[in-house]
Amino acid sequence: MRSFLLLPVFLSLWISAKASLAAGTDTLKTKTYMIPDKANFDTTLNGKAVHLFTLENKKHMQVAITNYGGRVVSILVSGKDGKPVDVVLGYDKLATYRKKGEPYFGALIGRYGNRIAKGKFTIDGKGYNLAINNGVNALHGGPAGFHAQVWDARQVNKTTLQLSYRSVDGEEGYPGNLDVKVTYTLTDDNALRIDYQATTDKTTVVNLTNHTYFNLNGEGNGNILGHTLMLNADKFAPVDNTLIPTGQLAGVSGTPFDFRKSFRIGARIKGDDEQLKNGKGYDHNFILRKTGKKPELAAVAEGDKTGITMNVYTTEPGVQFYSGNFLNGRAYNGKGGVNYPIRSGFCLETQHFPDSPNKPQFPSTELKPGGTYKSTTIYQFSAK
């Protein structure tokens, strides 16, 4: 009799829990976050060993990175309640990262991050043709770009991972043998530092970045529209309906692109602005205020549920703010089987500008023999 009377209570709790899970709301905040099982990443591809490496600092912050695509798989930081939260979208298994249509979760991007119009550019009068993999344009180095390669890996110590890769002359249509080294360092002030370096034996174009999707409330814990964001940018690059920059730079003042003071990501994203329509939301390069060559503050984002804040510093002149407009929750389930619907993560891809090889008014992305490409970006986390 007693169990019969309790049945409506249990039913009510079950319905409430199910509704909360469907909405990706507070119920998921009780999830226990942990690094995926390393055994799910151990394999050999194209004669190279693939593994999942874990970095940990003195404050017990953890970062998991696989040398397949140099991908950041997990970043575990403490929320305001002291419990660890995984703030990046990703998968539990290597096999899912290799599936067609996977949206570059956590990946190192190259040779050229972002888009090149119609996959064409010219160096010293010679034309080059790239793979077309994003409508009529080339995107993120092509289908076999750096995100899909096995990098040589060396874990230097508990906080440092070095990755290297040789992109051979003609790979994905790019000229020159390009030797790339990327170093991930987890510092004791809870920052993930990424140092990029590259050399070439033939003039080429290079624009390296990282494509991690962040949700500072925890991956799988709802959308990012309630996050606040500050971008240290007075201008942005308007795009056409194929997301190629027009070549002009527009002021952010009086537009939905003004993030010079912290603003909710979702506050203006559904407006009638033509640029928001072209990008299906935010998918634009912001021109950073720079005073020198050292890493400077580019952005500050804060999760509205966990109090986790992320400061982004970079030596790059721009940052692509992407609000996860093409995530659909249907492609492949993420960690723990949770799906990632539209705007469940955002990216801050530090970079030179999209289509710079075809826009001489933009900062040059050419790298010549004898020169060295260097770039640094830092993602620093705290909670309040």
Could you list the active site residues?
211, 349
Which value, to the nearest 10 degrees, does the dihedral of the CA atoms of residues 321, 323, 327, 329 take?
140
Whole-angstrom distance, CA of residue 152 vs CA of residue 47 = 11
* DSSP secondary structure, 305-343, as one string: TT-EEEEEEESSSEEEEE--TT--S-S---GGG----TT
Tokens of 222: 């709802």
Tokens of 202: 């033939």
Residue type, 351: Q
Q: How far is CA 269 from the centre of its chain?
A: 19
* DSSP secondary structure, 241-303, as one string: TTS-B-S--EE-TTSTT--SS-EETTSSTTS--HHHHHHTS-EEEEEE---SSS-EEEEEEE-
Whole-angstrom distance, CA of residue 254 vs CA of residue 195 = 35
